[in-house]
Chains A and B, each alone.
Chain A
Amino acid sequence: MAEKKQKFEDKITELESIINELENGNTTLEDSIEKYTKAMKLVKECDEQLKNVEEQVNKIVLENGKLEDFKLEDNN
């Protein structure tokens, strides 16, 4: 799936690979700092994504394909 925004999962994967690179220490200082900056940005974005998104409202698809909020009938 080609995405306009980077998926959360891809961010985590990229983050992990950058950290592994930094931990191996085979990069130049400039490169490391550049990578660190990028990784910090990813950490922040992931954090935001987990913190700021409000609890999602469940949706139900109607026969015509439209979405509507969905609440379970509270019967117990």
Chain B
Amino acid sequence: MNNDKYLTVTALTRYLKYKFDNDDHLKNVYLKGEISNFKSHTTGHLYFSLKDETSKINAIMFSANAKKLVFTPTDGMKVLIHGRITIYEATGNYQIYVDEMLEDGIGNLYIAFEQLKEKLSKEGLFDSKHKKAIPKFPERVGVVTASTGAAIKDILSTIKRRFPICEVILFPSLVQGENAAPDIVNKIKMAENYDLDVLIVGRGGGSIEDLWPFNEEIVARAIFDCNIPIISAVGHEIDYTIADFVADLRAPTPTGAAELAVPNLLDLKKHIEQLRIRLNEGILKIVNYQKLFLDSLKNSFVIKNPLIMYDNKKQKLDSIIEKINNLLKIKLDKNIDKLSFIKNSYILKNPEIIYKQKKEMIVNIIEKLELINPLKVLKRGYSVIYKDNKIISSIKNLSKGDNLQIKLSDGIIKTKIEGVENI
């Protein structure tokens, strides 16, 4: 037997490894699949398999690359990886050396979520100024969710327990899958026509993909545009969707949404009973106060002794009459005094004195008149010269031939001027 044609295992393995390492396709492989048998070694290297329905490949990611991961890989996780294929000589297994790994789907969804959140936030869709108040006592509650499943069940049972007098209207909607978002939008718009006090929009828990319709922009805008106050209730407490940010109120769960939407009837009845008690106490207080006031009036001295008022007035009247009488008397006395003073005056007592005085005055005047009588002057030899009945006291305006009259004490001389000379 010629041994030469037999290869050693090592030789074959090396040959195959050489083939693999020199293949350009195998140096640069993009691969997608689900993680299984995941092991994280203390050195930081990650060992796992990547599989799909029918096949499987071993994978190794060294710590230098593993450190760059933005998530924690776990079994069952769908991932996108990049790496090179080579053969591990010790086992002869081919495997992929991974240098990059991303979460499949979820990673992209996460990015889309963040981008939409930022966009709508910038537009102001989440601003608290747009949040409508949730009415305290709704008479009609709308629910946009699936007609089957835990969410509607929880909501209905919670409302029935707390506030059974409230009417609930379900707007059945798809809540997952591609057609869910437009259906939810449609139902929100429809709900506006049913005179609702509040609208619950949501669904029960599920994977991020299941909840995805509530992260769609059209759903966010429909919630924002809706004129009914909206409570969002998507998934569990930890799940936050875009719908939660834009809704007027976010509930952690569908049950929570029902609790936020309606009051507890028992509490409400108690509250009304309290109001009734306060009301009665309030009015009693007012009536009692007014009654006390009235009593105090009734018991007042004046009301009890009304004649007192009369007495007072009477007394006042008397004092006024007295005052008036006094005033009149004073005035009268004054006048009487004045009259007696006049009566006693000297002139009235001696009226003849006036006559005597006047007579003396007349005699005096006559004597004065006597003194200035011009005729008396004429008797003493003086005369008065007239020209045209005017007395002449100067030679001015006199000329030869003028006619003059000279008045003497006992007659008039008519004469003519023979000449005029200055003295």
Q: Please report A residues at the B interface, Cβ cutoff 8 Å.
A: 1, 7-9, 12, 15-16, 18-19, 22-23, 25, 27, 29, 32-33, 36, 39-40, 43, 46-47, 49-50, 53-56, 58-61, 65, 67, 70, 72-73
Would you call B278 and A61 a contact (CB within 8 A)?
Answer: no
Pick from B7-15, B283-291, B321-329, B350-358 the stretch touching chain A: B283-291
Would you call B286 and A50 a contact (CB within 8 A)?
Answer: no
Asked whether B257 is an interface residue with its Cβ less than 8 Å from the other chain, the reply is: no
Would you call B171 and A36 a contact (CB within 8 A)?
Answer: no
How far, in angstroms, from A55 to B169 measured CA to CA in the complex? 14
Contact of B165 among A18, A50, A59 (CB under 8 A): A50
How far, in angstroms, from A25 to B288 measured CA to CA in the complex? 12
Would you call A60 and B286 a contact (CB within 8 A)?
Answer: no
Would you call B136 and A50 a contact (CB within 8 A)?
Answer: no
A11 nearest in chain B by CB position:
B137
Known contacts A23-B282, A61-B190, A8 near B139 by CB under 8 Å: yes
Chain B, residues 268-290, CB within 8 Å of chain A (1/0): the string is 11011001101100110111011
How far, in angstroms, from A75 to B280 measured CA to CA in the complex? 50
Asked whether B124 is an interface residue with its Cβ less than 8 Å from the other chain, the reply is: no
How far, in angstroms, from A22 to B287 measured CA to CA in the complex? 11
In the assembled complex, which residues on chain B have CB atoms less than 8 Å from the CB atom of A32?
A: 283, 286-287
Would you call B164 and A56 a contact (CB within 8 A)?
Answer: yes
B186 nearest in chain A by CB position:
A63
Would you call A9 and B135 a contact (CB within 8 A)?
Answer: yes
- In the complex, how many angstroms separate the beta carbon of A51 from the nearest chain B beta carbon? 8
How far, in angstroms, from A25 to B136 measured CA to CA in the complex? 28
Interface of A is mostly: helix
In the assembled complex, which residues on chain B have CB atoms less than 8 Å from the CB atom of A39?
A: 279
A8 nearest in chain B by CB position:
B137
Would you call A61 and B272 a contact (CB within 8 A)?
Answer: no
In the assembled complex, which residues on chain A have CB atoms less than 8 Å from the CB atom of B271?
A: 12
Known contacts A9-B136, A29-B286, A50-B265, A36 near B279 by CB under 8 Å: yes
Asked whether B167 is an interface residue with its Cβ less than 8 Å from the other chain, the reply is: yes
Would you call B170 and A56 a contact (CB within 8 A)?
Answer: no
In the assembled complex, which residues on chain B have CB atoms less than 8 Å from the CB atom of A25?
A: 282, 285-286, 289
Known contacts A53-B165, A70-B170, A72-B156, A60 near B147 by CB under 8 Å: yes
A-B pairs with beta carbons under 8 A, tally? 100
In the assembled complex, which residues on chain B have CB atoms less than 8 Å from the CB atom of A61?
A: 169-172, 187, 190, 194
How far, in angstroms, from A61 to B137 measured CA to CA in the complex? 22
Asked whether B152 is an interface residue with its Cβ less than 8 Å from the other chain, the reply is: yes
In the assembled complex, which residues on chain B have CB atoms less than 8 Å from the CB atom of A58?
A: 156, 167-170
List 11 A-B pairs, Cβ < 8 Å. Answer: A12-B137, A15-B275, A23-B278, A25-B285, A25-B289, A29-B290, A50-B268, A54-B165, A61-B190, A61-B194, A65-B190
- State the 7 A-B residue pairs at the shortest beta-carbon distance, nearest first: A22-B282, A53-B165, A36-B283, A56-B167, A8-B137, A55-B164, A60-B170
How far, in angstroms, from A66 to B362 measured CA to CA in the complex? 138
- In the complex, how many angstroms separate the beta carbon of A22 from the nearest chain B beta carbon? 3
Which B residues between 194 and 212 are near A, CB-CB below 8 angstroms? 194-195
Would you call A59 and B275 a contact (CB within 8 A)?
Answer: no
How far, in angstroms, from A43 to B278 measured CA to CA in the complex? 11
- In the complex, how many angstroms separate the beta carbon of B158 from the nearest chain A beta carbon? 12
A35 nearest in chain B by CB position:
B283
In the assembled complex, which residues on chain B have CB atoms less than 8 Å from the CB atom of A65?
A: 190, 193
